[in-house]
A and B are shown apart, each in its own frame.
Chain A
Amino acid sequence: MEGLRKKKIYDRLTKPSSVIIVLIALFVISRISMYLVFSRSTGDSSVRNFLLAMNRWDTGWYQWYVTYIGKDLEILHATPTYNGQAWWAFFPLFPSIVAFFWKIFGNNDQNNILLIGEAVNTVFFLVAEYFGFKYMMVTRKSLFAAYSYVAFMSLGLYSFYFSILYTEALFLMLLTLCFYFLKTKRYIAMGIAGAFLSATRNAGIMFVFVILVELVEEYIRETASFDRKSPVKSIFLNIKDFVVTNIKKPELIFGTCLVPLGFFSFMALLSKITGDGLAFLHVQRAWGKNSNGLIRNLKYAFYNEFPPDFLSIATLLIIILIVITCINQKRFYETIFSVIILLASASSSFYSVPRYAIGCFTVVVAFSDEFSKFKPLTRAFLGAMILVMELILTKYWILVDPNLV
């Protein structure tokens, strides 16, 4: 009887309509709490001002970007500033989508770019959460872990990034779709999502490594055989068989080949405009990006500049989390993406490392899985800590403090 009741609850909570209701409810609660933080910290209770004030830092660039795409693609003729900053530092898909809706609904008002961007991103974010839930159910088969994921994305650290004029929500949605379609073996759908992903941010192209690692894991799990008497021959035969097995899957090959399409299309465009297809990399000089590497930056933060600042500690915690979840869960195709994003973002400085980690899907997925295995008291304490920390982060985001973001 008890078992039947539990199954009924389980069935009800896994129904798409239930999932959608829960994730919308969590989203609304989180955005109301952000509004309350805004009104308490600034004394301003205007909802419109709240929506505009959430857009800080790079949103100015995106607003400018959208405006000049909206003006008959004038952006293609825009020259860099004297300090070398140029529009091609930002990949074009997200601003192009916002420009499309701004042309239709924007009334040529620049403030409407922010509001339309927030609305579009909200849709992307909710879709991302829905497929994130489905991915958790496919890979973890744990309702608690799946709902933990949804809760952490809506109410967890740095969740404000998914509602402002940043690429976070679109990137998260496309990445989630890529992971979901990869695990459900819908490779062409994965490739299409991947092509858009690599047109959203250069990190998107790195998804091809996820595919490779997943295929290797799958092969080792299901097919590989190892002869201890002749290990070299055995490895060689396994590699050969791995290649032959996978090359016989035309949908997989085509889907994988589609992933870099957005990236290379942007390179071709930049090559035509500037004469340099790698302009999106070279332009990083204007933002003072160095390439010290993660280890040197960690040494600097924890030894030379001791005591470390908030972002250095956050980066170290993210590294620890990635290592622990990799050991515990052994989902190397997820870990590889977390590691790539971490190395790419933390090699120059620790600014934005938490943002990229939260937005790279795999870190929160792995954390939610671990979280679901904790004792109830630990979960309650950790959950409450994260909720409070998110409110603090939101406050410092609104107050334009760079030390926490």
Chain B
Amino acid sequence: MKAKSVILYILSGILFIGYLVVMGISLDTSRATDAYRLYYVDKQVKYYLSQKDLEKKFCADRKFVFTSDYNPLNLGNGWGDPEPDATWILGKSGDVFVYVTHPERDYRIKLEVAQTLYENDLYINDVLIGKVEPDGQGFVEYNVPEGILTEGVNKITISTQSDVYALNYINPDATDNRPLNIYVRSLNLSSAPEWSDI
């Protein structure tokens, strides 16, 4: 009877320690893929991408077209649903995530803007790259300074310092009640002179 009790106490101890170990391992998500962490843990992207997709499709040297035909899945928080012409950032900022395998190369970032209602800045990994001031064709283009891009997932942010109000608050004639900021058609981060669409 005593031996049985001792065995039960030992088994209970083993179980208890096992639970602590599993809990400790479970709270550490560093072994999860970038794609997993982006969607589930950090909740930074609107859609789930597999790691393979992230590395092969949502990477540098690709042009991301933000229209409903293409519906790019690497849009982060802050974006509305893709529309036929482009996609609005709703509110102060919107993120896009791009996978980079060779950060040592020279990169150029190019934005195509369809409409802008506020002054915005462009950031890569939270470092200011420049103002979003479209030229006559609606393009914004910058060289990416050395050392900003990292191997793996990089965050590109378009953000305004201004408060963004619902359109029908600024313009009583408007019916749209969304806080429209900037209407972006495409983005690419390229180390090559040409790129393929996605």
Contact = CB atoms under 8 A, between A and B. Distances in A.
Nearest to B26: A277
B32 to A, nearest CB: 3
B25 A277 contact: yes
B36 A275 contact: yes
A260 B19 CA distance: 8
Contacts, number: 79
Interface stretch (B43-51, B82-90, B165-173, B175-183): B43-51
Interface residues of A, number: 29
B26 A84 contact: no
Nearest to B18: A264
Contact of B22 (A79, A253, A277, A283): A277
Contact of B40 (A258, A264, A277, A283): A283
A253 B12 contact: yes
Contacts of B41: 276, 282
Interface stretch (B2-10, B99-107, B148-156): B2-10
B161 interface: no
A278 B25 contact: no
A257 B23 CA distance: 15
A251 B27 CA distance: 30
A206 to B, nearest CB: 15
A264 B22 contact: yes
A275 B22 contact: no
A81 B12 CA distance: 39
A101 interface: no
B128 interface: no
A254 B22 CA distance: 18
A257 B10 CA distance: 11
Contacts of B19: 260, 264
A83 B46 CA distance: 8
Interface in B131-187: none
Contacts of A260: 19
A285 B25 CA distance: 22
B5 A250 contact: yes
Interface string A279-296: 100110110000000000
A82 interface: yes
Task: Kindly name the residue among A254, A261, A276, A279 whose own CB sees the greatest number of chain B CB atoms within 10 A.
Answer: A276
B188 to A, nearest CB: 22
A254 B12 CA distance: 5
Contacts of A282: 40-41
Contacts of A79: 50
A83 B31 contact: no
Contacts of B23: 264, 267, 277
A261 B18 CA distance: 9
Nearest to B13: A257
Contact of B15 (A84, A250, A261): A261
A285 B40 CA distance: 7
A271 interface: yes
B5 to A, nearest CB: 4
B123 interface: no
Given A250-B9, A275-B29, A257 B43 contact: no
A80 interface: yes
Contacts of A279: 40
A402 to B, nearest CB: 23
Nearest to A263: B19
B27 A83 contact: no
Given A274-B32, A276-B36, A257 B16 contact: yes
B27 A84 contact: no
Nearest to A265: B22
B15 A257 contact: yes
A30 to B, nearest CB: 40
Task: Kindly name the residue among B5, B22, B30, B47 whose own CB sees the greatest number of chain A CB atoms within 10 A.
Answer: B22
Nearest to B32: A275
Given A80-B48, A271-B22, A276 B9 contact: no
A180 B33 CA distance: 44
Contact of A278 (B5, B9, B15, B27): B27
24 contacts: A79-B50, A80-B39, A80-B50, A81-B48, A82-B48, A82-B49, A82-B73, A83-B47, A250-B9, A251-B8, A254-B11, A258-B15, A264-B18, A264-B22, A270-B26, A271-B22, A275-B29, A275-B32, A275-B33, A276-B26, A276-B41, A279-B40, A282-B40, A282-B41
Given A275-B29, A277-B22, A285-B39, 8 more contacts: A84-B39, A250-B8, A251-B8, A253-B9, A254-B12, A264-B22, A276-B32, A277-B26
